[in-house]
Amino acid sequence: MATIKQIAELAGVSRGTVDRVLNNRPGVKPDTAELIRKIAAEVNYRPDLAGKILAARKKNLRLGFLTLEGDEFTFFHDVTQAARKKAVELQNLGVEVRFYLVREFTRPGLEVLAAQVEADQLDGMAMVPMMTPAIISLMHALEARGTPIIFFNIDEPSVKRLCYVGCDYVRAGRVAAGLAALTTGGRGTVGLLTLHDSDNYSYQERALGFTRELSERYPAMTLLNGGAPTIFQHGDYSAVHALFREHPELDAIYIVNLGDFSVCREARIAAGERPLSIITNDLVAAQREMLQNGVISATLGQQPDVQGALPLQLLYQALAFGEAPGADKLYTDLNIYISQNI
C-alpha cells in the first residue's frame, strides 16, 4: 500500500503538503492539490484508519443534540435514548455531545435554550427544526457561522444542512392508506384524526400521501369529510366521541399524531360494538399493549433508534474525516407492526 511519503516523492512536494490535501485542509495551490489527488488515486492510497481516528480524537469535537421531551412527545424518548447511547460511543473517540431538551414551547424557555446553544460554540448540531422565532434565529446563526447541521424527524430545506435523517411522511401516509384498505376489505369509510391542529408538517405530509393513495388505488374507499381531520386536544377527547356519534358509518380511522396515545382507547370506547380499524404511527410501550389487546389494528414505525444515533455518527464522520453523508435525505424504514409481530 502506498504511503504519504511515497506520494510526496512522486509529486515532488513535502509530506506536510500531501497531508493537507488528503485531509481537505487549505494552503495548497489548486494545481498541486489536483496532482496529489491524482497520484493518490493512481497508487490506490488508503489512509490508515487508526491514524485517522487518533487525529480525530485530538480535535476534541463538541456536538449538540436538540430534541423534544415530555408526555406529548413519547416517540422522542426512544430517539433521545439512542442518541445518548451513541454519545457514549463517541466519547471514547474524544467527542463530547451536549443535549438540549425542549420540554415546552414558551418563548422565554426557547430563548434561553437557544442562547445556551450559541454560547457553547458547537462544532456540529443535530436537531429537530422547530419553526419558532427563537429556534429559527438559532438555526440561521449556526448556518451563518458555518456549523454543520443535520435535521432529524422533520426537515427544513430553507436552512443549509448536511442532510435530513427521518421519515418519508408522504410515503408513510400511502402505507397507512393501504393498511386502512386492507383491514376493511377496501370498501370502508375512513376518517383522519390528529392532535392540536392540522398545520403540523408531519400531519400535512402524511395526510397528503394518505388521500392520494386512497384516490388512486382504492376508489371504493370513502374519505370522511373530504379528508378534513377531526382535531382533538391533549386529555380532551370530546371531539372524538362526537365523531362517532355523528358518523356511524365509520369503518376505520387513521390517527396521524397521537399525543399520549390514550386517544386510541377513547376511539375504541366511542366506537362501541361496531367493527373499527385503528391505524396509528410509531411504536412505544403503550402501543405495544394496545396492539396485543386489539385496541390498535396496525401501526407504522419510523426507526427512532436510527433518528437518534445516525445524525451524530454522520456529524462525527464529516468533522473528523471530511466524509459527506451518502444522500441529501436519508429516509428511515417504514416498519408495519401488528399484534403478531411485536
pLDDT of residue 51: 52
Cα dihedral sign for 327, 312, 102, 304? positive
Angle, CA of 212, 217 and 218, to the nearest 5°: 100
Angle, CA of 167, 173 and 174, to the nearest 5°: 115
> Are the beta carbons of 154 and 174 closer than 8 angstroms?
no
**Res. 256: pLDDT tops 70:** yes
Edge to edge, the sheet with strand 124-127 lists: 96-102, 62-68, 124-127, 149-152, 163-166, 329-331
Distance, in Å, from the CA atom of 165 to the CA atom of 169, rounded to the nearest integer, reads 12
> Are the beta carbons of 98 and 63 closer than 8 angstroms?
yes
pLDDT of residue 126: 98
Round the CA-based radius of gyration of the chain to a whole number and report it: 25
At 281-309, the pLDDT tens digits run 999 989 999 999 999 999 999 999 999 99
Distance, in Å, from the CA atom of 255 to the CA atom of 245, rounded to the nearest integer, reads 18
- Could you tell me the three cell numbers for 187? 370498501
pTM over 0.85: no
- Could you tell me the three cell numbers for 19? 497531508
Mean pLDDT of 241-270: 93
Longest dimension (CA), the chain: 84
pLDDT of residue 261: 84
**Res. 46: pLDDT tops 80:** no
